[in-house]
Amino acid sequence: MPRLADARTIRSTLLCVGLVLAIGFPRTILADTAGIASVIDGDTIEIHGQRARLHGIDAPEGGQTCLDVAGRNWRCGQRAALALQDLIGRRTVTCDERDVDRYGRIVGRCLVGDLDINEWLVAQGLALAYRRYSLDYVAAEDQARGAGRGMWAGTFKPPWKWRRRR
């Protein structure tokens, strides 16, 4: 009888391990997503029907405006999305998946060739380092601020504060 109990225990253990692997493993192995991207907004793209949120940055929302140095409104959210589209064009974008957000979007660092597009947006002053989630792009933000690029040429409300008001 001890052999039968051992066989049942082994079989039960293998079944449990198999279920854990089948259910829990797909989201613990993070993968790369690559392809031609469509721009959703300044910090979100879509590749093969999968939305990807750019890790560590926060761009102004599509309807968000900023003030230039003369105090005139400009559509900084729209400009961020258009600049991202111009940068990407029809080239392949590769995103290394770091997480999945509450909306089911992958969150990752995305590249066009060797260019980190997350960093590029921040360096152009078209997005901010999203310190709540990462410090990866703080140096790029400091450089954009110092050079007065993009949003840093005037005044703006950080996207996370702008969204809170809405």
| Same domain as 21, residue 96 | no
| Same domain as 42, residue 8 | no
Let me know if residue 24 belongs to a domain: yes
| Same domain as 64, residue 86 | yes
Let me know if residue 119 belongs to a domain: yes
| Same domain as 131, residue 120 | yes
Residue from 84, 35, 38 nearest 59 by CA: 84
Let me know if residue 163 belongs to a domain: no
pLDDT of residue 3: 58
Which of 61, 97, 119, 141 is catalytic? The answer is 61
Distance CA 113, CA 128 (A): 22
| Same domain as 50, residue 88 | yes
Question: 91 is in which domain, residue-wise?
Answer: 32-158
> Is there a catalytic annotation at residue 61?
yes
| Same domain as 142, residue 63 | yes
pLDDT of residue 26: 43
What number of H helices and E strands is found in the chain? Answer: 5, 10
pLDDT tens digit sequence for 56-79: 999 999 999 999 999 999 999 999
Let me know if residue 98 belongs to a domain: yes
Amino acid letter, 134: S
Q: How far lies 65's CA from each of 58, 71, 140, in Å?
A: 15, 11, 22
Let me know if residue 166 belongs to a domain: no
How many structural domains does the chain have? 2
> Is there a catalytic annotation at residue 149?
no
**Residue 61 Cα to chain centre, angstroms:** 14
pLDDT of residue 148: 97
Show the CA angle centred on residue 127, arms to residues 55 and 97, nearest 5°: 10
Could you say which residues of the chain have pLDDT below 50?
1, 14, 16-29
Q: How far lies 11's CA from each of 7, 8, 64, 98, in Å?
A: 6, 5, 58, 34
Which of 97, 105, 119, 141 is catalytic? The answer is 105
Q: How far lies 144's CA from each of 8, 47, 60, 72, 139, in Å?
A: 64, 28, 15, 20, 9
> Is there a catalytic annotation at residue 8?
no
Let me know if residue 86 belongs to a domain: yes
pLDDT of residue 21: 43
Let me know if residue 165 belongs to a domain: no
| Same domain as 18, residue 37 | no
Let me know if residue 114 belongs to a domain: yes
